[in-house]
């Protein structure tokens, strides 16, 4: 059985598709128009004109699988298309939001937070704070018996600029 996960690649066909199409019809769109290999294990996503139905085509080890979802009310919101394309790659996180009916325009992605950025902001790159931080982390490494903790991973991997 195929499980959709963040490890797979997702491609969204932006033009409306007749939902009467099944395996062969959707595979024809993938092969002839999207110019992708339908047997690659990538997931291909198709919506109807009203955007209240979605089909996802994926090759399993033994054959094609179609996942089908129909909304009772509302519409699936699509990401903004790139210029002059009929199909585009889609991130796993965007697919989950689309399938759950969450508005993509209202979602703001949090940038990756780097531990050194957090610590530099907290300590303001002050030498005394750096010295105190290094003493505290050295003591915490020596005084704890637990092999790994979140705080040690964050503070221990923090590269400070040399002064």
pLDDT at 56 over 90: yes
The Cα–Cα gap between 97 and 84 comes to 24
The Cα–Cα gap between 36 and 160 comes to 46
pLDDT at 27 over 80: yes
CB 19 within 8 A of CB 48: yes
Question: Where residue 42 falls among pLDDT bands split at 50, 70, 90?
Answer: very high
Backbone angles phi, psi at 117, to 5 degrees: -65, -45
CB 79 within 8 A of CB 90: yes
The Cα–Cα gap between 150 and 152 comes to 5
Strand partners of residue 87: 13
Q: Which residue has the higher pLDDT, 148 or 32?
A: 32
Dump pLDDT digits (tens) for 99-153: 888 877 777 666 544 555 545 555 445 555 556 656 666 655 455 444 444 443 4
- Overall pTM surpassing 0.85 (yes/no): no
Q: Which residue has the higher pLDDT, 150 or 43?
A: 43
């Amino acid at each position: 059985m195929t499980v959709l996960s963040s490890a797979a690649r997702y491609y969204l066909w932006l033009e409306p598709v007749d939902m009467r199409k099944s395996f062969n019809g959707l595979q024809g769109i993938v092969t002839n128009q999207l110019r992708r290999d339908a047997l690659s294990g990538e997931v291909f996503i198709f919506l109807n004109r009203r955007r209240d139905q979605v089909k996802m085509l994926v090759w399993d080890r033994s054959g094609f699988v179609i996942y089908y979802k129909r909304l009772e009310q509302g519409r699936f919101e699509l990401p903004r298309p790139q210029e002059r394309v009929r199909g585009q790659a889609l991130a796993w996180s965007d697919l989950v939001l689309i399938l759950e009916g969450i508005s993509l325009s209202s979602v703001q992605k949090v940038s990756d937070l780097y531990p050194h950025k957090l610590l530099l902001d907290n300590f303001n790159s002050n030498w005394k704070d750096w010295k105190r931080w290094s003493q505290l982390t050295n003591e915490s490494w020596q005084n704890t018996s637990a092999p790994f903790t979140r705080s040690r991973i964050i503070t221990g991997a923090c590269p400070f600029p040399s002064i």
